[in-house]
Structure 1
Amino acid sequence: MARTYLDWNATTPLRAEARAAMIEAMDVVGNPSSVHSEGRAAKALMERARAQVAAALGAEGQDVIFTSGATEAAALALAGQGVHCAGVEHDAVRSWCAEDLPVDRAGRISVEDPGHAAVQLANSETGVVQDLPEGLYFSDLTQAFGKIPFAFNWLGLTCGIVSAHKLGGPKGVGALVVKRGTDIAAQLKGGGQEMGRRAGTENLIGIAGFGAAAEAASRDLERGNWDQVEKLRNILENAIADRANETIFVGNESRRLPNTSCFLTPGWKGETQVMQMDLGGFAVSAGSACSSGKVKSSAALVAMGFSEEEAGSALRVSIGPDTREEDVMRFAEHWLKCEGKHRARRG
């Protein structure tokens, strides 16, 4: 059976540019911390990637700290900081914060003290994009990076986090981006790599792929590729809305990522839908990939005011520039066929 991948918010296909950069990096033998010629060559490759990531983010190279991913980057920025967040944040952020910021049914977060708050730029499950307050301490930029235009230096943030595999890079590498002069205490201590803020020999191969992916993602954004993605997302939602009257589209009254559709069909469990779609050849999600396999309602949707039953019926479809109109229409037809059978069983 031909497979159709519609779970880009969980992870994206590896870009050709990233693959080529990683293969090139595999032949670089030196350690970036070594002072000999081989070490300097490795260092140069890493710093080129750092500049690529920084340019794509609208930041400066020295402000980018490479990590093993966004989860580690969040811990590096948030541990011991006394930061507050809303229940819609990713678990990697919520784990370090006091979860008491209000969020409305449209996914909009209210903040009174930005200097001690964490607010995501875009939600991984609903796609809702926030208007970040000036002076915000921390933002999870992971889902927004490469999909919508922004510049770290213009957002007024102290810290932000990103992950390579969300924009066509490899898994297992990410970055913390910090405002110049910010004091970040290292959690991993040793050789003093990453300007003394994250010890351990850098993942040169992954970092090279990250840099190439970030540069390519910026080109896609500039060319308007994600505008076409948004059109496909709207085609999908309209096809479903026309024939599924009970289905609720989350956050569609707010600004959203161009590729993300989260919809609820109360009484039809999200994990059941995921399995039925999988059997039909479609890869989709019932929420954040980090929560897959856990039979529980989405914490983000519950925080927005949806009931446990509604939140438990969520399905997320997230697409990308490689997605075709025929892909979303075939998915819509299969989903509607299954939804019709579900309604018939309920009587």
Structure 2
Amino acid sequence: MVRWPTLLLVTALLPATAGVRSSCAVVVGGGGSASTDCIAVIDAPANSPPAPASPKNVDCVDGDPTCDADGTRNARCEFNVSLCVNSTMITGCTPTRADSLAIDHSTDNGDPKFDTDFQALQQRANLLGFPDNENTDDCTLQSTITVALKPPGSEGAPFKKGKKTLRLEADGATDRATTDHDHMRLTCRPEGNGLYSPHELYDGTFDRIRQQVFAQSCALSGCHDSNSHKNNMILYPNVAYSQIVGVTPFNSAAAVAGWQRVFAGDPTQSYLYRKVTCDLPDMITYGACMPFQRPPISQQLQDIIQLWIVGDVPCGPAPDVGCWVAGTDQ
């Protein structure tokens, strides 16, 4: 009989707090010392390296339902992950208590590697109750970590693999007070030839704008993230629409001119469009071009924003397949 020193295929029911679990979920110690690895463990569809080795990471092809939770070819993999403390599934380690659990890059404090997926998982971990958590196999609800493929460097080129590394530190005790350091690498690989159409990548025109423009050039540390919220504007994809459409600009000159951040139907009165196209009366009273001190967005994306505004800014709160403005899906 093979013994797995730091992982075990889960066949027993976890506590109710664990939520619905994937049939291919694996508990992974995460690489800490064998005697302390049970303070915190990672529950995920680990499959790498393949059997007969002990899997420690997730290596997934986009759309593979055994590891990609959305099961869709869309240039990203969604991994359902839970964290458990005081695990009884790690051979050679007997937990006593868990006092804290901290995930790297989960705090929006100016960290350039801040990740909202890690933040969500951290928030669920905080609900386990620290310090002095003595409940065995106490698990968070599943949380989704999305790993996007790396976009091609030139038009017509294939996407490349994307990856994230989940790192955490848990304080607690086994036979003594100690710390458990764990990590798991999450990799998403392109399916087939790695070529994707806009309809495979985005739910509609605004979804394309928020992913290609806001997520990559605007919702960054020091700019329009939840920590800095420069000019009282946050451009995370899930809140961007309500932050811009029909909203008066923070800039007083633009506000006096009657502009809105995005004026439905009229790009010339849309402050956001005038900023990203650098079409401003002056840069002293109206502010600098955007993205600030970064390369301008491409002409193609500028045109897509213009067409979206002219098309009356459809489908922001709930993008779906019917949300494409003509000329923006090429």
Structure with a larger share of its residues in helix: 1
Structure with a larger share of its residues in strand: 2
Larger Rg: 2
Give the shorter-chain TM-score range.
under 0.3
Q: TM-score, normalised by structure 2?
A: 0.23
Higher RCO (C-alpha 8 Å, min separation 6): 1
Q: TM-score, normalised by structure 1?
A: 0.22
